[in-house]
Amino acid sequence: MKTILVLLDTLNRRSLPAYGGGASTPNIDRAAEKSVVFGQHWSGSLPCMPARRDLLTGRASFLEKGWGGIEPFDRTLPEVLREAGIFSHIITDHYHYFSRGGENYCQAFSTWDFHRGQEGDPWHSVIAEPPKPEQYYGRIEDQYEHNRSRFEREEDYPGPRTLSAACDWLERNKDEDNYFLWVEAFDPHEPFDCPPHYLEQYKDTYNGPRFDWPIYGDADVPEDALRHLNARYAANLTMIDHWFGKLLDTMDRLELWEDTLFIFTTDHGFLLGEHELLGKNQMHVYNELAHIPLMIRPPGGQREGMRIHALSQTVDLMPTILDYMGVQAPEDVRGYSLRGLLEGREDQVREAAIYGYHGMAVNVTDGRHTYMRAPKSADNHPCNIYTAMPTTFRSFLGGGMEKEIECGRYLERTDYPVFKIPLTAEGRPYTGNQRVLQSQLFSLEEDYAQQHPLQNEAVEEHMIDLLRAEMERADAPEEQYLRLGLEKREDD
């Protein structure tokens, strides 16, 4: 039994023709035709590394901590597979795995392969400042300017190199039968960089300042620049789709489809002017960010081309993979296997899905409504980070509050002692959630773009009940209820 999981970072569902989008992605379309397409698939923890921890552990991590490494007490997918005698390999150009705050992800696999050069990856080593445009919108960073100077051909870009390496790996291991292959391309993550012929496909006529890397927050750029940014995103997506096609070609040639579980998905989406915002992280987790694509082809193509509208989310992929590979899921997994849905034996596996960023609003959907529960006060108190690995993206946690950090056995699911690091404290306001201080309720059917918040007390109470139930199932720390102004259910 084989499993191949393909993960593209920052893949907007609304861009894909398989979901009604307008980007040119003939190979993703081809994968959709071969697969069961999920219409109600949602993120869990955001952004990049929290989403991957969810995928690897089958648990929502954002209620305990944000960006950080795999914990010593986490049971990860490749480790569980290894215990069952199954080989695993990851091929990626996602440099966050090798930055501080990305510890223990790739190292859990039997082998790993890293392709350098994306975004701020400290790869091409030049001391002198690189040449930069005199005018630009958004961001320009020296390290990426150095990196991109080495992309002389399309084949030199990290995304194409990653997909080519996946093809090579499959060729080398064509006679093997018991493995899990994780193929991950950073594209179409920003900066939206690709050879110009992809941009030409979108008839882009922009001639203003360079704009390929937006600053997260307000979309305060001219309309023509915003259209150009959208075209650049689409062009970057079309490039990686082209190389994804080579992976599909390899699977065709090696006749892998009959005995392989194939999964195609992403971690989250990206705002490109919707809600007058750009990026992620600083705002409510709107549908553009949380409602994500998922395509699964079971071995042999059972129910090929079908659409499933039952709720699913990122934490469900680990138990699904283990189920197909004949391995028991660890007891602390909170996701559900989707195999029953894929085989037509079940109509539903979950009532609701929760998702969010650590320390910000906590969000829930039942497939009909979305509810964003804001902190009850601007200072967000109380909120703590729980971790035995006190690192985050490019830095350590707890700096400046060392005397306030405690250590103990605070998590019910493990006896492993963890640090309890205050994210907020009395008299020290938290500024990271200033855009999410108002709870909001939306109808997915009547207002998918989330422009007109509902005022419906009965629906809101129903969504609050679902939120509480999912938080309890995720073993949310007690103070999460306090900061959100919620009480735990009486039956607990």
What is the per-residue pLDDT across 179-197, written as a single tens digit (0 to 9) for each? 999 999 999 999 999 999 9
Q: Is residue 489, in this structure, part of any structural domain at all?
A: no
Q: Do 189 and 313 lie in a common domain?
A: yes
Q: Do 371 and 311 lie in a common domain?
A: no
Q: Do 343 and 479 lie in a common domain?
A: no
Is the model's pLDDT at 265 over the cut of 60?
yes
Q: Is residue 12, in this structure, part of any structural domain at all?
A: yes
- What's the CA gap between 364 and 63, in Å, rounded? 13
Task: State the DSSP code for 440.
Answer: E
Q: Which pair of tokens denotes residue 457?
A: 């007390």
Helix/strand/coil for 299: helix
Q: Is the dihedral of CA 224, 194, 139, 187 positive or negative?
A: positive
Listed residues 325, 351, 377: the one ending a domain = 351
Q: Do 334 and 414 lie in a common domain?
A: no
Q: Is residue 277, in this structure, part of any structural domain at all?
A: yes
289 pLDDT tier (thresholds 50, 70, 90): very high
Domains in the chain, number: 2
Q: Is residue 490, in this structure, part of any structural domain at all?
A: no
Q: Is residue 185, in this structure, part of any structural domain at all?
A: yes
Listed residues 351, 382, 403: the one ending a domain = 351
Q: What is the mean pLDDT of residues 256-282?
A: 98
Number of Cβ within 10 Å of residue 444's Cβ equals 16
254 pLDDT tier (thresholds 50, 70, 90): very high
220 pLDDT tier (thresholds 50, 70, 90): very high
Domain that holds residue 185: 2-351
Q: Is residue 337, in this structure, part of any structural domain at all?
A: yes
Q: Do 395 and 313 lie in a common domain?
A: no
Q: Indicate which CATH number applies to the domain containing 276.
A: 3.40.720.10
- What's the CA gap between 485 and 473, in Å, rounded? 18
Before 298, cis peptide (omega within 30)? no
Helix/strand/coil for 236: helix
Q: What burial letters (b/e) apply to 448-483, b meaning 16+ CB within 10 Å?
A: eebeeebeeeebbebbbebbbbbbeebebbebbbeb
Q: Do 20 and 79 lie in a common domain?
A: yes
Q: Do 284 and 358 lie in a common domain?
A: no
Listed residues 306, 336, 351: the one ending a domain = 351
Q: Is residue 318, in this structure, part of any structural domain at all?
A: yes
Q: Do 201 and 53 lie in a common domain?
A: yes
Q: Which pair of tokens denotes residue 199?
A: 């941009």
Q: Do 80 and 125 lie in a common domain?
A: yes
Is the model's pLDDT at 120 over the cut of 80?
yes
* Mean pLDDT of the chain, nearest integer: 96
Q: Do 358 and 275 lie in a common domain?
A: no
Q: Do 325 and 417 lie in a common domain?
A: no
Q: Is the dihedral of CA 67, 296, 256, 327 positive or negative?
A: positive
Question: What is the pTM (predicted TM-score) of this model?
Answer: 0.97
What's the pLDDT score for residue 292?
98
Summarised one tens digit per residue, pLDDT across range 309-322 is 999 999 999 999 99
Q: Do 317 and 402 lie in a common domain?
A: no
